[in-house]
Structure 1
Amino acid sequence: MTATVKLQHTNIFHRFTRLLAPGLLTLATSLTLVSCTTQGQKAQTPSAATNVSDTNSNSSGIKAKVLRMGYQSAGDLVRSQKVLEKRLEPLGVKVEWAQFVQGPQLMEAMNVGKIDLGSVGETPPIFAQAAGAQIVYVVGSRRTPTTGRASVIAVPPNSPIKSVKDLKGQKIVFQKASASHYFVFRALEDAGLKPSDIKILSIPTVEASSAFLEGKIPVWVAGDPYLALAEKSNKIRVIKTAEGLDTPGGYYIGARQFAVDNPGILRIVIEEIDKLQRWAEANPKEVAKIIGPIQKLPPDIMEKVVSRRSYGLRAISPELVKEQQRVADYFYKYGVIPKQVNIQEAVLTPEQYAAITPESISQK
């Protein structure tokens, strides 16, 4: 069952949205709660053989009766394969899903108590924390040398803009407070430019896609699957990818109280996502076959999208916290957030991380 939920206007919600673009509270901020009744295509994932006796060993540290998961399009594999349901439902925990167009919208929903856990890039939790959100970093995403291939700064094929240096004075379209925000600022810095050298128009990628293909947007920060669709239509020229960007990468972020109360749930979630991502990395064609129909994308587009994804999880460590702090300090340096953010305040204790982090999760 699908229902549209209007976000409540709490004080923290107002503080958070003031950090973002005025147009953020549009159709793009709506979220869709998805029940677990839709059966995805079946795949021989590592979780298929999980039995009730396996889950019973993780039954401690579970208070919640419902886990409300927020996801973006990349989370379709976890949802469609029902790996969380297979582990949690025997323990009396129902899984509900809410889809978001981008990370900032997902964080807004967490701020107002609509979801418990979700995956975002490095930037949205910084903005949320600056607004006073009670969140914690649960687990990170593994970075590889090719991470960032699916995020680009692009122009129409006939544009006179040839490089990032040519962006001075240009209007650039991307979602403020998303991972694109840090990508653009770092790209400008590397080219000897400042954020003040450009004009930012904050529009979610899904809403900007059609306008870009119609030639109405001079510079667009795009990501898959919209990037792949634009490439197929030959209406895009990439001038910079996010490969090699000095970012700590994405995270699963949790509402603090939920994380403190439910370490058993978090460990199960991390275990299952880790196993599924390891399988996905080794079986890209199968992933494309599963996700393509869900996202209503043709096979060739879906295969390209999957080929550019990075897989694997990374444990929250002092080193990772330092990396994330550097990004937060960067936004404060340029006046994007109104106060300094202490990432350590959104971190669990070493003992809490030991309880939720499987030994298989890398520290790097």
Structure 2
Amino acid sequence: MPKRFAYSLAVLFTTALLASAPALAADGYPTQLRIGYQKGNSLVLLKSRGTLEKALAPYHVEVQWHEFAFGPPLVEGINAGSIDIGFVGAPPPVLAQAGAAPEVVYVGYSEPYQDNYAIVVPKGSTANSFADLKGKRIAVAKGSAGEYLLLSALDQAHWPLAAINEAYLGYSEGRAAFERGDVDAWVVPDPRLADTQLANGARAVLSARQLPPQYSFYIAPRGFAEQYPKALAQVLAQLNATEQYAKAHLDDAAQVLSDDTRVPLPVWRKALARQNWGVHYPFPAEVVASQQQVADTFYRYHLIPKPVRVADAVVEVKP
């Protein structure tokens, strides 16, 4: 074979290989970004818009979406490093830090709950305030943001835990017990809150707005957060842009979430109308202090086995 022809074949073969090989990620970016999400939150809206994929395309990052039915398996995935970012309420990172998930760190946060998390009573209840629930049976999901809301309400009223009858029930069981009259009140977030208000005329006697602020968080494995802060900053920036878009287009957002969850459209419209929008990073001192109060409260009520220092699990993501 003539040398010139052989050289041409080699060049063509090398070019074909390079063209078929995946592009290497830019410096400071992973080749893949694995996002863990649950139904009915802003990550679903981000996924539906496709803007994150476009934002990361110049850096040759492949975005993968992994759905989780519940929060605990998502936290386990973060701790194991099989998921790179996820969204949870205030308690899961505290439980992780106090338990067997030391690799879970905070990288971003959402605006605090307001009227979208509340203690509700049935339509015909004589209770008009939290003070009227002394000695009553209140349904709440164990270890949830709702349990912290309930404990905060007790602290604000200067009541001991024994002042109410706490009934640990999951959301489905809690709603069934609430509708049967087996409990006097129920601690519930949107969209379930909006659903029971529209379907049953449930009334809020206390909302998160009236209590110390409680945030939700974006979490990641420590190693990933420390190695790829630029990638996480892109996710958080796109999430914030998505939330601002949703705020201005509530009907569109409600339709996406209704399709995703099969929760009726009017329920999502009511829930989103009182949503507190915004995704932020890095962490100001007041957000860390608020989450530390969650950790201290859970330790004081023996919900975690040891005290934790929230600041130790915060990684400052910067663009």
Question: Who is 1:137 aligned against?
Answer: 106
Structure 1 residue 160: Cα displacement: 4.3
Question: Who is 1:251 aligned against?
Answer: 217
Structure 1 residue 285: Cα displacement: 2.4
The answer to whether the aligner puts 1:329 opposite 2:290 as a matched pair is no
Q: CA separation of 1:114/1:162 partners in 2, compared to 1, >3 Å: closer, same or farther?
A: farther
Deviations 1:52-99 (A, max 9, x none): xxxx9x933223524132334223212222333333466142312223
Structure 1 residue 187: Cα displacement: 1.0
1:137 aligned counterpart, secondary structure: strand
Distance 1:244 1:197 in 2: 20
2:200 aligned counterpart, secondary structure: coil
Question: Who is 2:166 aligned against?
Answer: 200
1:300 aligned counterpart, secondary structure: helix
Q: Residues 67-146 of structure 1: matches in 2 within 5 Å?
A: 67-75=34-42, 76-88=44-56, 91-101=60-70, 103-104=71-72, 106-133=74-101, 134-143=103-112
Distance 2:52 2:84 in 1: 14
Runs of 4+ in 1 over 4 A off after TM superposition: none
- The runs of 5 or more residues in structure 1 that have no matched partner are 1-55, 359-364
- Cα root mean square deviation, aligned: 2.5
Deviations 1:100-135 (A, max 9, x none): 34x455434434555331112222211111114221
Deviations 1:223-280 (A, max 9, x none): 1111112112234222111113212411111121221232232122012111111211
Deviations 1:265-304 (A, max 9, x none): 2122012111111211222222223322222233322211
Distance 1:230 1:311 in 2: 22
Distance 2:286 2:123 in 1: 41
Structure having the higher helix fraction is: 2
2:238 aligned counterpart, secondary structure: helix
Distance 2:238 2:227 in 1: 19
Over alpha carbons, which structure has the higher Rg? 2
Question: Who is 2:12 aligned against?
Answer: none
Structure 1 residue 311: Cα displacement: 0.8
Distance 1:300 1:99 in 2: 25
Question: Who is 1:271 aligned against?
Answer: 237
Question: Who is 2:192 aligned against?
Answer: 226
Distance 2:220 2:298 in 1: 22
Q: CA separation of 1:298/1:336 partners in 2, compared to 1, >3 Å: closer, same or farther?
A: closer
1:99 maps to amino acid: F
Q: Residues 138-217 of structure 1: matches in 2 within 5 Å?
A: 138-143=107-112, 147-217=113-183
Is the 1:122–1:247 Cα contact (8 Å) retained in structure 2?
A: no
Question: Who is 1:294 aligned against?
Answer: 260
Distance 2:266 2:294 in 1: 35
Identity %: 32
1:187 aligned counterpart, secondary structure: helix
Distance 1:203 1:82 in 2: 37
Is the 1:65–1:92 Cα contact (8 Å) retained in structure 2?
A: yes
Matched residue count = 292
Distance 2:108 2:158 in 1: 34
Question: Who is 2:13 aligned against?
Answer: none
Question: Who is 2:11 aligned against?
Answer: none
Residue of structure 2 aligned with 1:62, choices 11, 29, 52: 29
Residue of structure 2 aligned with 1:340, choices 300, 307, 310: 307
1:129 maps to amino acid: Q
Q: CA separation of 1:199/1:60 partners in 2, compared to 1, >3 Å: closer, same or farther?
A: farther
- The runs of 5 or more residues in structure 2 that have no matched partner are 1-22
Q: With structure 2 as the length reference, what TM-score do the two structures score?
A: 0.81
1:61 maps to amino acid: G
Is the 1:173–1:208 Cα contact (8 Å) retained in structure 2?
A: yes
2:251 maps to amino acid: K
Distance 1:259 1:346 in 2: 11
Distance 2:187 2:277 in 1: 22
Is the 2:33–2:84 Cα contact (8 Å) retained in structure 1?
A: no
Is the 1:119–1:253 Cα contact (8 Å) retained in structure 2?
A: yes
